[in-house]
Each structure stands twice: as C-alpha cells, then as structure tokens.
Structure 1
Amino acid sequence: MKNNMTFILLISLIILLRIGELILSKRNEKWLLQNGAIEYGQKHYPLIVALHVLFIISLIIEYSIKRTVPYNSFLLVSYISLLVFKTWVILSLGKFWNTKIYRIRNYPLIKKGLYRYFKHPNYMIVVIEIAVIPLIFHLYFTAAIFTLFNAIMLSVRIKEENKVL
C-alpha cells in the first residue's frame, strides 16, 4: 500500500509539474511573441508533447502490470534533487524559458546559471528524468524505450535549436 501511495503521489507531482511548465511556457510565449520572437521547430513539437504524454501513460501501465513494486529511495531523492536543477534552469532563462524554440533576433544568449557551464542543461535534465523516474519503481521497459525515443527526439530538437542559436 505504501508503494502504491508513493507511486500515485509521484505521478501526480509529475503531472502537476508538467502542467505548470506548460502554463509558464504559454505565458512566456506571449511575452516572447510581443517582443518579436520567431518560433522554430514547429514540425517536431507535437512529437515532443506526444512523447511526454505517452511516457506518463507508460509509467502508469507498467506499474499497474507489475502491481506493488518497491521503490528505490535513492533514485526518488535523486529525482527530487533534479527538480532543483530544473528550477535553476527555468529561473536562469526567465521569460526566455519555453517548451518551444523561440529566438529574438539580435538578443544575446543567456549565459547564467547552468548555461554558464553547459550549452543545453535543460535537455540534460530531461534525459536524466526520463531514465530516473521509471527506475524509481523498477519500470525497466518504460526507462529503456523512452530513453531511446527521447534520444532520437532530442537529436532532432538540439540540431534545430543549434541552427537557431
């Protein structure tokens, strides 16, 4: 029962965080467009959304099939810690953080926070999230399949973003 409640709480948290990210992204999108931003990568964006929705569905289905699965406390704490880095990335980009690719011509790139050290820290965090979240509950199928799908998707996404930047 404790494991089921932990799973339900974690999935609920993940869904709420994703919804919050989409709301923030939409708010930032309005500001970006008002300031002359141009959107890029529109063709692959629906695939990113589908990937993340199917990831959550896969987590729920695989967990349901396995029934009561003990959770890994270390990985759970690791995921919660990862949220600190994700928050740092979002705060570093401020109004420029978005789930889509936008660029305001002649505006300098943000070089603070983790962006001082890495070119794409947000994607590094997403890669780790996609692997760690399922592994918290030993959901190896979801971890393997979505790590692969995410790698393919990010290869397209990062190529597009690098062209824009």
Structure 2
Amino acid sequence: MTWYTLLVLAVAVERLAELVVARRNAAWTRARDGVEHGRGHYPVMVVLHTGLLAGCLLEPLLAHRPFVPALGVPALALALLAQALRWWCVATLGPYWNTRVIVVPGVRLVGGGPYRFLRHPNYVAVVVEGVALPLVHSAWLTATVFTLANAVLLTVRVRCENAALTRAVPA
C-alpha cells in the first residue's frame, strides 16, 4: 500500500502543478481579453477530483482492497498514459490551456498535437485516469462513483466549452 499511497500523492502534486500552470495561463489569457465561462461548475469539478484522490487512498484501506497484479499493472500503465496525454495537451495548448474555461475572442482553435485526433483529448485523459488510478489498488467503488459523477460533470463541461469556443473562435 505504501507505493500506491506514493503514487496517489504524486498525482496530487501533479494536480497542484496543474493549478500553478492554470493560474499563470489564466492571467495571460485575461490580459488578452479572455472571457471565463462555466464558473458555476468549477467548484464541483474541484470537489470531484479531490474526492477521487481521497477515495483512492481510503477505499483500499477501509475496505481492505488487495493489490491484484493482473488488474493493477495494466491500470497503472493506463494511469501513466493518461498523465502523458494530459501534459501533451498542456504543452500543445501552451498559454491557452487551463483548468477553467477561458477563451480569448478571435483566436483560432489549436489543431496540432492530440487535437489533430480528438476535440477534447484532455477529457479522455481525465476519464482514463478516473477509472485506472483507483483500479491500480482494486478501488472499484471509487472508480465507479467517480466515473458516473464525472460523466455528468463532463456533459456540462463539454457543452460549456463547445458553446464558448463557438461564440469566440472564427470559423
């Protein structure tokens, strides 16, 4: 369990790094007349993602979930791939990447990196991580609850982001 705790803590540190990047990028985009959309769902997203990390730590302890190598090893690989995809998105979007929906009017959509293949690759990373990270240590209840709640949240988030981009980005 110690190595799994370290993994989850490493993901938590990664999340803090994301927030530092997001704050810097938010200042950059706002300085260019960036407009934030969907402020109402952002606190829900923070609570949900914090809950994911807490569940990853608590469920294996409280429910005595074992480490099952046949499940845990592939789940670990997927969790690491999700991290790589997330940071590919961050690198591709550069100062336009954010944990919030902030759009600079008149800027064209990014079409490189993972955005060549998917409209919302960062959300693919979130979905994969939300299933894989808990399953590294058999936390199937956390994976299920997060996935269902995240599906609702992502429905709201993607609609918000698509609407914001449609209004602000030239065709």
Q: TM-score with structure 1 length normalisation? A: 0.94
Q: Is 1:117 the counterpart of 2:114 in the alignment?
A: no
Q: Is 1:33 the counterpart of 2:30 in the alignment?
A: yes
Whether contact under 8 Å (2:38, 2:101) holds in the other structure is yes
- The count of residues paired between Structure 1 and Structure 2 equals 162
Deviations 1:10-65 (A, max 9, x none): 11111100100011100100101111100000011111011111111122221211
Instruction: Give the deviation of 1:81 after TM superposition.
Output: 2.3
SS at match of 1:39: strand
| Structure-to-structure mapping, 1:55-134, within 5 angstroms | 55-67=52-64, 69-71=66-68, 72-134=72-134
Whether contact under 8 Å (2:65, 2:139) holds in the other structure is no
Q: TM-score with structure 2 length normalisation? A: 0.91
1:102 and 1:33 map into 2 onto residues whose CA distance is 8
Q: Report the counterpart of residue 21 of structure 2 in structure 1.
A: 24
Q: Report the counterpart of residue 49 of structure 1 in structure 2.
A: 46
Structure 1: stretches of 5+ with no match in the other structure: none
Instruction: Give the deviation of 1:68 after TM superposition.
Output: 6.2
2:62 and 2:85 map into 1 onto residues whose CA distance is 32
1:81 and 1:143 map into 2 onto residues whose CA distance is 17
Structure 1 residues 65, 22: CA separation in 2 closer, same or farther (over 3 Å shift)?
Answer: same
SS at match of 1:43: helix
How much is the aligned-residue C-alpha RMSD, in angstroms?
Answer: 1.1
Structure 2: stretches of 5+ with no match in the other structure: 166-171
Instruction: Give the deviation of 1:66 after TM superposition.
Output: 3.1
1:146 and 1:66 map into 2 onto residues whose CA distance is 17
Q: Report the counterpart of residue 137 of structure 1 in structure 2.
A: 137
Deviations 1:60-116 (A, max 9, x none): 221211346215122212211222211111100000000000111111111110111
- Could you tell me the percent identity over the aligned residues? 31
Q: 4+ residue stretches of structure 1 with deviation over 4 A?
A: none
